[in-house]
Structure 1
Amino acid sequence: MKIGEIIKRLRKAKGFSQMELAEKIGITYQQLQKYEKGKSKITVDRLIDIARALDVPLSAILSEIYKKENIEIYSEEEIVFLEYFRKISDPELRKSFLKIFEQLSKK
């Protein structure tokens, strides 16, 4: 299933019009229409915005795409953790966090 079709299905299931969802994510309804029809590529950042606006985990959208592929999908918590981790600019602090999580995972 194509990503635009998934977005359209989820949007309708949540009861949003194209105009309502587009406003929630800060784009025109025409751009959302292009996403849903597969005429424009969707960035990961935009996909995250759409998932949040629809109040669904990003993995709900991605899992539809990869159902047949047997690819592991990250949970919403893992995605959020990765977003925060990437914002840590100090390499030593990043290493420290990794050591902490390594120790926590052994318990």
Structure 2
Amino acid sequence: MLASTSYLPDTPMAVSDRAFYEQLGQRIAEHRKARGITQVELAKTLGIAQQTLAHYEGGTVRIAIAMLAAVTQALDVSLEDLLGNFSTKSAGKRGPTSRLQQQLDQVSQLPKAKQKFVSEMLDTVLKQASR
């Protein structure tokens, strides 16, 4: 069994990292539920606390790379299935993330009401620009 890894709760994740870990956690939860496995059961198999698994699934804690192998084995799923679109993203543009992409990542982290407001503002600006 693998031991739980520690993390620094006061070290904030970058917006793009948070999105990655949230999506990874969602996929872990989906595969776990599809197999009828509880968080407690999977955590025991992985040798970690249920609360740690809950943090992984919520995307609030970075899952160690070494832990991914155990997760794929426990859920009988490929690493590519867990990583989803992120595993094929490397074929795109390399280098730093564009300012626009950084802003989109930040907007995606806002509450839904604020996302809607930003979307409406963009619609207004784009409508005026197309005239």
TM-score with structure 1 setting the length: 0.59
The match for 1:59 is: 80
Taking the aligned partners of 1:21 and 1:35, their CA distance within structure 2 comes to 12
Matched with 1:26 is: 47
> Segments of 4+ in structure 1 off by > 3 A?
none
Matched, 1:3 2:3: no
Shift in Å, 1:67? 6.7
Q: Deviations over 1:54-101 (max 9, x none)?
A: 011212212x13277364xxxxxxxxxxxxxxxxxxxxxxxxxxxxxx
2:80–2:87 contact (8 Å) kept in structure 1: no
Match of 1:41 in 2: 62
Whole-angstrom CA distance in 1 between matches of 2:87 and 2:58: 21
Contact 1:2 1:65 in 2 (8 A): no
Q: Are 1:15 and 2:23 counterparts? A: no
Q: What RMSD, in angstroms, separates the aligned Cα atoms of the two structures?
A: 1.8
Secondary structure at the aligned position of 1:27 is classed as coil
| Alignment partners' CA distance in 2, 1:34 and 1:70 | 26
CA distance in 2, matches of 1:67, 1:51: 15
Larger radius of gyration: 2
* Unaligned runs of at least 5 residues, structure 2: 1-21, 92-131
1:31 aligned partner, one-letter code: T
Specify which structure has the bigger relative contact order, considering alpha-carbon pairs within 8 angstroms and separated by 6 or more residues. 2
- 1:35-66 residue CA offsets vs partner (Å, 9 max, x unmatched): 0011110111111111111011212212x132
Pick the structure with more helix per residue: 1
Distance 2:79 2:38 in 1: 20
Unaligned runs of 5+ in 1: 72-107
